Structure 1
Amino acid sequence: MHRMKQADNRQVNLTQGRVTWGLVRFSIPVIVGGLLQALYGIVDMSVAGQYIGDNALSGITNGGMIMTLLTFLAMGLSFGSNTLIAQYYGAGCTEERVRASETTVILNLAVGLLLSLVLAVLANPIMLLLRPPAFAEAVTYFRICALGLVFIFGYNGLTSIIKALGNSRVPLLFILMAAITNVLLDLLLVVVFRMGVEGVAIATVCAQAASCLGALAYILANHDLYGVKMHTMKFSAEDGRAMVKIGVPSALQFVLNGLSFLVLNKLMNQYAAVEISAAYGVSTKLRDLGVLFLSSTQGTCSAMVAQCLGSGLVERAKKVVYSTVAFDLAITALVLLLFETQAPLFCSLFSGEPQTIQLAAVMIRIELLGMWGYCFFTPIHGLATGSGHAGFVLLNGFLFICLVQIVSGFLLNHFVGYQGVNISFIIGHVAPIPHCVYFLYSKKWAKTRLAAPTQLSESS
């Protein structure tokens, strides 16, 4: 079994150096990349609101909710490959790492292609479940965007390979490509050619294709490091099971979280005024933008923990969690200051309707208070995923983030009105903290559940 070659600038060993500096250095490109990804969602909403109208804004909100849920599924699946590859990398198992990388490419592209075809066909009945006010626009947007799922799954799988080796800078370039593509095509197809919701959706799919194909080209061009070649790729059932074992619980947790938002969105759709649905769509985009910072550091924490535990550095892994919590608290303070003082300005980027802007500003000020909860549970979710305890993430997500949020949403909607739905976001993201603290201090995570422990122990 071959040991890793001396590191070059395409890979970073996260088991060495100061923990805080390593966390910040890895996180910043991920955060910037997340902001750029959010950019083309924001551009879609802004162009739709300014140039098409509130019906388009509502349709994109509802179609986008399901696309966000499916993107969560892709992200969760990529956590499985990232954890496995990072632990192989930390242990110096080069042959196993290459094998796992090949399996990642095949698995993600196959799952993405299957979902693209199935969901494009089922777009109409899926939207019937949500009953959005702007039904036709929602179906159109979702059907076209569903065809891009192969690129979403492909991109997440490919960049999980790159990030597992400690490189978060290169994926940023692919997201930049996607953001530029999306903005230009939105302006061309919607503003110039007046293609409406179809133009917004086509621009999004083209942007996703650009990032996926860019990542694939990079990995193939650097086959000396990643070992992936198109004509020699093979699927490993053992590694596939390992990725599913870690990735599926993570994916289900993301999906359950997304489903809870869909349920809450349906509560908003029950109000006859379309501006309430449109305002909730605006606040959701801004909320996701704020939460994006903390979701990005969760991925960083997971990658660092996986490398540390692969190298047997248990105390360093724990230090990674503490540093992530501190970093998240600092980010949250800055984000809340910005959004609480400038909420109407941000909301006006999405809609020109004064009532929609006013409603959205109130909603986003309420919901972003839930970020304080994110600061504590997302780093521990990163610890659980990086150590292979994805079942904990699923249980925590279902019991608290999903179940508590839905129940409180229904109750508060009944007694308080639509703003009760916004308050339920805070409750759902503070509730999991005690369970997370218990998991951290129980040290169950220190018993690494790598899917291939035999190879790991042999190479140590």
Structure 2
Amino acid sequence: MKDLTQGKEGLQILNFAIPMLIGNVFQQLYNVVDSIVVGKYIGSVALAAVGASFPILFTMSAMIGGVTIGGSVLVSQYFGAKENSKVKITSDTLQIFLLVSSIALSLLFFAISRPLFILLGIPPEVLPDAVRYFDTIILTTTVPTFAVFGMAAILRGVGNSKTPVYFVVLSLVLNMVLDIIFVLVFGWGILGVAWATAIATVVSWVALWYHLNSKEDAIIRFNLNYKKWQFDWENFRLSLKIGLPSGIQQTLVGLGSLALLSIVSPFGVAVLAAYTAAGRVDMFVSMPAMNLAAALSSFVGQNLGAGRLDRVKNGLKSTLVYSTVICLALTMVVVFFGGEIMRLFTDLNSQHHAEIVRIGKEYLVIVTSFYIVF
């Protein structure tokens, strides 16, 4: 656990953000590696199927993102104020909410997956693969993914942004190995990619839970004995109040992605595959700004709890400078090397290769031009 109420503000935020950034880069590499394997070794139809699933999965996560952020901020405030009993209650409340919501959402989206894809206009040749991939992912990864989100948020709240990184790296390496085995050796196609992701996610979840409950302070542990769980409605209300603006923003982004998917889908496999690959790059490049914002949230939470408003103002100024410089640099990289990046996601001999590269590059140039505003 790390005290963020002492030391140089900008440097503390940067040092806190870097481990989170590394972890989230590896988390995004999950999607990038899956897309490269699918695009190069299975085909553009399978790549389009994976891409059709992503906006739905993102929107589902965004729906609970506000409470997760709010819980992390509350943990950081109580930790900064040395109110350990409230840290424990907040930790339990957040994890109970994520457990219940993950089960409910996974069952709901599993039940409506095919009608939803049809409503979004997914091409008929893509629909079977999209449903198979999505159903496998939704049933096997929702609960562990939400649990990992919760544990990582709690650890960030108490100033520990490094530990989750180790388990993300573990998960990524395992996912890459299983991708190769299931797709290239066993020939399982898109289901092989889905099961590789599922197994790697569950292993990461179990390993992080074991670490949290055996190595970390008792105030953030989560007991498997449900009789010891503490859910506090007032605490949940505060988490929701704090995180609701961010949650609404993320949900609107997700709904925007779904709307864009419904617009893109009728143009066919090549356009949908290009949108998928470019979207992976887009998410990857936006990570630094998002992680600086997450680091700032924990920093602000602890310093508000400690009554250090001067540090809050200085931290915000430093974060804005860092974000601006990084966004400009990454925009230049994507604008000048967008074509080369897109070629990673498609087989040179594919009939859609040239079209996917061209459309994907155009998409990236347009999107990255507005990173500075984001």
* TM interval, short-chain normalised: over 0.9
- 1:242 corresponding residue in structure 2: 238
- 1:144 corresponding residue in structure 2: 136
Q: Could you give the per-residue CA deviations for residues 17-41 of structure 1, whole angstroms, max 9, x where no partner exists? A: 0011101100111111111011010
- How far has the Cα of 1:283 moved from its partner? 1.1
Q: Which amino acid is the alignment partner of residue 321 of structure 1?
A: L
Counting only pairs closer than 5 Å after superposition, residues 52-63 of structure 1 correspond to structure 2 as: 52-63=42-53
- How far has the Cα of 1:351 moved from its partner? 1.0
- 2:211 corresponding residue in structure 1: 218
Counting only pairs closer than 5 Å after superposition, residues 154-173 of structure 1 correspond to structure 2 as: 154-173=147-166
Counting only pairs closer than 5 Å after superposition, residues 12-411 of structure 1 correspond to structure 2 as: 12-133=2-123, 134-147=126-139, 148-221=141-214, 222-224=216-218, 226-231=220-225, 232-271=228-267, 273-352=268-347, 353-374=353-374
- How far has the Cα of 1:91 moved from its partner? 1.1
Q: Which amino acid is the alignment partner of residue 363 of structure 2?
A: M
How many pairs align? 363
Q: Distance in 2 between matches of 1:243 and 1:88?
A: 12
RMSD: 1.5
Residue pair 1:220, 1:230 contacting (<8 A) in 2 also: no
Q: Distance in 1 between matches of 2:373 and 2:70?
A: 24
Residue pair 1:59, 1:137 contacting (<8 A) in 2 also: yes
TM normalised by structure 2 equals 0.93
Q: Which amino acid is the alignment partner of residue 223 of structure 2?
A: K
Q: Distance in 2 between matches of 1:161 and 1:94?
A: 13
Q: 1:23 to 1:15 in 2, by over 3 A?
A: same
Sequence identity of aligned pairs in percent? 27
Considering Cα pairs closer than 8 Å and 6+ residues apart, tell me whether 1 or 2 has the greater RCO: 2
Q: Which amino acid is the alignment partner of residue 133 of structure 2?
A: Y
Q: Distance in 1 between matches of 2:200 and 2:64?
A: 17
* 3-state SS, counterpart of residue 122 of structure 1: helix
Q: Distance in 2 between matches of 1:294 and 1:270?
A: 32
* 3-state SS, counterpart of residue 166 of structure 1: coil
Higher mean C-alpha deviation, range 326-335 or range 78-87:
326-335
Q: Could you give the per-residue CA deviations for residues 230-266 of structure 1, whole angstroms, max 9, x where no partner exists? A: 3333222222222233334432321111111211121
- 1:388 corresponding residue in structure 2: none
- 2:350 corresponding residue in structure 1: none
Residue pair 2:265, 2:272 contacting (<8 A) in 1 also: yes
User: Structure 2: any 5+ residue segments left out of the alignment?
Assistant: 348-352
Q: Which amino acid is the alignment partner of residue 135 of structure 2?
A: R
User: Structure 1: any 5+ residue segments left out of the alignment?
Assistant: 1-10, 375-460
Residue pair 1:336, 1:368 contacting (<8 A) in 2 also: yes
